[in-house]
Amino acid sequence: MRIYITHCSAKKDDSLKQSARGVTPDALYTARPTQRFMLACKEAGVHWAIFSDLYGIWLPDEKHQWYEKNPDTVTEREFKALLGHFDERLQGCDEIWFYCNPGRFHRLYRRVVAESGLRGRITVFTHIRDIA
């Protein structure tokens, strides 16, 4: 199985900020590149997820509350937990395609790709047209 992933974004639906309501990632993230990624995945009918700085791998049917977590604030302990979650949740995937804008690919995400036990299955790509 192939899955497409992109990292989270700081731009979120602020109307959910004071709510305790859980929502799916496509309802939370409002950044244009993230929205384009999710739409392309839906249109292609492929498996996809968001890598959240707080929740780790966030599948499209899962609900979480609004949050604020800057990747610069992830501690070493949190990183190890995020990396473990990444590897555990994606263990069943033969191919993991990680979408990024090279100029905005934070060192946290580069480190996940480099240190994942699944790194041999990960392809980093930069063009939405490669989602198929």
**Euclidean distance between CA atoms 107 and 50, whole angstroms:** 16
Domain count, the chain: 1
Residue 104: is its pLDDT beyond 90? no
Residue 126's pLDDT band (cuts 50, 70, 90): very high
What are 44-65's pLDDT values in tens digits? 999 999 999 999 999 999 999 9
Domain containing 121 equals: 2-130
User: For residues 48 and 60, is the Cβ–Cβ distance under 8 A?
Assistant: yes
